[in-house]
Amino acid sequence: MRWHVGDLLDPEFVDRIVAEARPDWVVHLAAQASVQSSWQQPTETWKNNTLPQINLLESVSHRAPGARVLIPGSSEEYGRVRAEDLPLSEAAPLRPDSPYGASKVAQDFLGLQYHLGRALDVVRVRPFNLIGPGQSERFAIPSFARQIAEVEAGLREPVIMVGNLDVRRDFTDVRDAVRAYEQILAKGEAGEVYNVGGGCFRTVREILDGLCALSSRTLQIQVDPTRFRPSDAPVVQSDCRKIRDSIGWSPTTPVDRTLVDILDEWRHRVAA
C-alpha cells in the first residue's frame, strides 16, 4: 500500500496521483459525511462532495480511461420518504431534504454523467445507515458508545445524551458494506446504481438499548434538543433485491456483533 497526502480540491495533485497509479479500480470515499454538519456548513459540504469528484473523474478519463470507478451516494438521496415508497428501491423518487442529501445526489449523477458522456466505467451505490468500529463520534451510534465507555471509566456522570431515538433506520455493518463494494466492482453493470443495506431494521432507541445492555453500569438517558436534525424521516428501509439477485450479496454480520465491536473499540480508545 502506498499513501499520498494531498488535497483532492487540487486538480494537479489528483492528476499526478492518477497518472502514477494508473488504477484498475477507483473507490471514491472522500466526502463530508455528516448530515448534521451539512446544515451548519452547506457550502463546505457541497464543495467537498462535488469538486474533488469532478477532479477525480476528469483525471481518470484522461489518465486511466479503462478503470472502473465506484461512486458511493447515500440513502439520504431518497430524503423525504413517503409510506408508499417503502421499502426504497433504486427506482424510488429522490427528494433530498438536507444539504448532504442533495450533495450526494449530485455525486451520484456526476458519476452517471461521466458514464454516459465520457463512457467511463462507473458503478454507483446508495448505502443505507452504516455502523461499525472506526466510525466518527459525530454519528449517533459511536457517540453513544463513547459516552458509555467514558461512564465506565469514571470520566463522566452516568447520563447518555441523545437526539431523536424514535426514527427507524436500516443499519448494516460497515464490513458487510466493504464486501458489497468489492463485489459490485467485480460484477456490477456499468452505469447502474445499487442499494446497500438490509442488515438490521430497528429504531435508534433499540440500538441504544443494545449498547446499554452491554454495560454493567446503570445509565440514564437524557434528550439533547441540539442533537436533533432540522429534517429527519421517521422511517427509512432499503429494498436490496437488485444487489442480491444480480450480484449475490447480502449482509451477514449480526447487529449484536457490531454493537459489541463498536463499544469495545471505544473502551480501548477511552482507556488510551
Angle (CA) 126 251 147, round 5°: 80
In a domain, 184, yes or no: yes
Cα–Cα distance for residue pair 68/211, rounded to 1 Å: 39
In a domain, 47, yes or no: yes
The tens digit of pLDDT for each residue in 72-84 reads 999 999 999 999 9
Q: Which of 178, 147, 151 is nearest to 163 (CA)?
A: 147
The tens digit of pLDDT for each residue in 110-125 reads 999 999 999 999 999 9
In a domain, 267, yes or no: yes
Residue 264 grid cell: 469495545
Give the DSSP per-residue string, the chain.
-------TT-HHHHHHHHHHH--SEEE---S---HHHHHH-HHHHHHHHHHHHHHHHHHHHHH-TT-EEEEE--GGGTBS--GGG-SB-TTS--B--SHHHHHHHHHHHHHHHHHHHH--EEEEEEE-EEE-TT--TTSHHHHHHHHHHHHHTTSS-SEEEES----EEEEEEHHHHHHHHHHHHHHPPTT-EEEE--SEEEEHHHHHHHHHHT-SS--EEEE-GGGS-S---SB--B--HHHHHHH-----S-HHHHHHHHHHHHHHHHH-
Q: Is the peptide bond before 96 cis (omega within 30 degrees of 0)?
A: no
In a domain, 237, yes or no: yes
pLDDT at 191 (0 to 100): 98
pLDDT at 272 (0 to 100): 94
268 Rama sector, left if φ>0, alpha if ψ -120 to 50, beta otherwise: alpha
In a domain, 4, yes or no: no
The radius of gyration of the chain's CA atoms, rounded to the nearest angstrom, is 19
Whole-Å CA distances, 179 to 93, 172, 199: 27, 12, 13
Give me the chain's average pLDDT, please: 96
In a domain, 2, yes or no: no
CA dihedral 91, 93, 94, 98 (to 10 degrees): -140
Residue 230 has pLDDT above 90, yes or no: no
Residue 150 has pLDDT above 90, yes or no: yes
Cα–Cα distance for residue pair 149/145, rounded to 1 Å: 6
Cα–Cα distance for residue pair 156/169, rounded to 1 Å: 29
Residue 102 has pLDDT above 90, yes or no: yes
Indicate the number of domains in the chain.
Answer: 1
pLDDT band at 232 (very low <50, low <70, confident <90, very high): confident
Cα–Cα distance for residue pair 232/81, rounded to 1 Å: 10
In a domain, 125, yes or no: yes
Residue 229 has pLDDT above 90, yes or no: no
pLDDT band at 199 (very low <50, low <70, confident <90, very high): confident
Q: Cα-flanking dihedrals φ and ψ of residue 68, to 5°?
A: -90, 130
Give the domain extent around 139. Answer: 11-271
In a domain, 5, yes or no: no
Cα–Cα distance for residue pair 181/32, rounded to 1 Å: 19
The tens digit of pLDDT for each residue in 56-101 reads 999 999 999 999 999 999 999 999 999 999 999 999 999 999 999 9
pLDDT band at 267 (very low <50, low <70, confident <90, very high): very high
CATH number where 242 lies: 3.40.50.720
Q: Which of 205, 223, 224 is nearest to 213 (CA)?
A: 205
Per the listing, cell 459516552 goes with 147
